[in-house]
Structure 1
């Protein structure tokens, strides 16, 4: 487990702190997709044959779990360090997508609740606080900048994911109609999961903590 320990990611004294910014933001750019979930609302309503409220609760559950897991695991994130917490967060976030994909393929909406909302939501909470904590350590002289960079990454994730998700659903579904995008839901979720897996893994590998001196 030494690869995931705090001691394994201590940067040398001459390390340029700006290099840690993209590594820390890798997870926020991934989990920020949750705020682009609305692009899936109508395709899911079409696919599952349910109303807007039934699909909207998926997002609500994910955000609820974000707050709950942030409160419960905040001290754990601080104790194990950003690499371990980013790996756990990324694993839960990606697993949530795969479980949701299973729900889409089998027509079981509750699996989307459990996967994207519950499992993925826990990953959201752990992943949300890790970059903020890390950047605050690197920029003690600019705490506002550190927080702003982290929040920017979270918003940027939604800004990228919303149009990308639409394009993927249209490409996989073969058209721009709601029925076409509904047909492209399953491969879109798989594609997003694989992309986020790579991005978060790269960020976790590159993340560093400042040297004590």
Structure 2
């Protein structure tokens, strides 16, 4: 079958959307200016970000069916409208000196754009890259991880040059245009489409066809054990990852004795591995499989979180933090391909939306728990030890889902054998 679309340009379009919405991770650039202008507290300013992440999870869950029903182009356009209006409206909120209005525009409206934009291109990418599912989703979600590094200097420059309100206006319009143009190129491949030469590789044994365990609707998927195993694994990975991201700066100061400026530079520098982990681990999952990838995440992190509070050697501390950052990003980028493996691509966008409610829940739990441990004990080490225990639980879950997968595979083989016997 022929198609006019280039799948690499489809991937580039997905990156365009994710780089735009991923700028939410650069929200901290507005913290100091807003506090200085209006006298708001850190928690009042941070609430804007928390609301945005909450609405990301909720909108991804509730609008996942919209993505599947109307396709990636309309879903992308919807995301562009909500995110563009949300960021531009934030400028109006600042001009009117209204914190509730800022919560509404940036948090609620922008958050809805975040959620729809996050899932809009993913299921389409997996259909365009049946030979490289992990790579495809890793490319797009890598854009989300790198967005803060791209957006931060631009935001700072604009804030200094034109002020906070005008910065929101400029960013809102810019993101809208980028997301609009990116969305217009998005399209599903024709039914049964395969990359050129892929079928020949399958026939010659050089490549394996995707053998999805099932083709389930979203409402069927949520009734299975493996859906909730995936949800719990993602929740634990994000909860612990967000917690260490939130306290990385003071933890570095506490553990290896560097000052605040050095710690901030360190965290910014190794933050790039969040993005690299997304493309690296997702691509690697195409080779070793998604179950092995997640088991590896949890083995590495259960050890790292346990030993990190006692590490005082700078290069070792930095190296361990880098591994955690890659695993955190890799958890996001590998999950869509894992969903495709277990539930098929029929309603992958909707199932992905349901799974992302784990992100919304983790965004609230992780940082609050780490802060509570710090306030209670005077140190972050207690929270890291607790999170190490959570990774033990996640490791066990990663083994349980394998048992469920093997059971389903045996059932499929048995059904095929029975069918062949009947035909014979």
- TM-score bracket, normalised by the shorter chain, equals 0.7 to 0.9
Whether 1:192 aligns to 2:166 is no
Give the counterpart of 2:49 among 38, 55, 59: 59
Give the counterpart of 1:71 among 45, 61, 65: 61
Whether 1:31 aligns to 2:21 is yes
1:81 alignment partner, SS class:
helix
Q: How far apart in 2 are the matches of 1:94 and 1:15?
A: 26
Whether 1:166 aligns to 2:156 is yes
Residue equivalent to 2:116: 126
Residues 71 and 187, structure 2, Cα contact 8 Å, conserved in 1? no
Q: Gapped runs of 5+ residues in structure 2?
A: 194-424
Offset of residue 42 of structure 1: 0.7
Residue equivalent to 1:155: 145
Q: Mapping of 1:98-117 within 5 angstroms?
A: 98-117=88-107
2:34 alignment partner, SS class:
helix
Offset of residue 156 of structure 1: 2.2
Residue equivalent to 1:176: none
Offset of residue 97 of structure 1: 1.4
The higher-RCO structure (CA 8 Å, 6+ apart) is 1
Q: Gapped runs of 5+ residues in structure 1?
A: 1-10, 173-183
Whether 1:90 aligns to 2:69 is no
Q: How far apart in 2 are the matches of 1:86 and 1:16?
A: 18
Offset of residue 13 of structure 1: 2.5
Residues 28-76 of structure 1: CA deviation (Å, up to 9, x unaligned): 1110110010111111111221110000000000001101111111121
Q: How far apart in 2 are the matches of 1:122 and 1:14?
A: 31
Q: Which has the larger radius of gyration?
A: 2
Whether 1:208 aligns to 2:184 is no
Residue equivalent to 1:143: 133
Residues 28 and 131, structure 1, Cα contact 8 Å, conserved in 2? no
Residues 29 and 152, structure 2, Cα contact 8 Å, conserved in 1? yes
Offset of residue 138 of structure 1: 0.7
User: TM-score normalized by structure 1?
Assistant: 0.86
Tell me which stretches of 4 or more aligned residues in structure 1 moved more than 4 Å: none
Task: Pick which of 36-45 and 12-21 moved more.
Answer: 12-21
User: TM-score normalized by structure 2?
Assistant: 0.44
Offset of residue 79 of structure 1: 1.2
CA spacing shift, 1:142–1:111, aligned 2, 3 Å? same
CA RMSD of aligned residues (A): 1.4
Aligned residues: 192
Residue equivalent to 1:41: 31
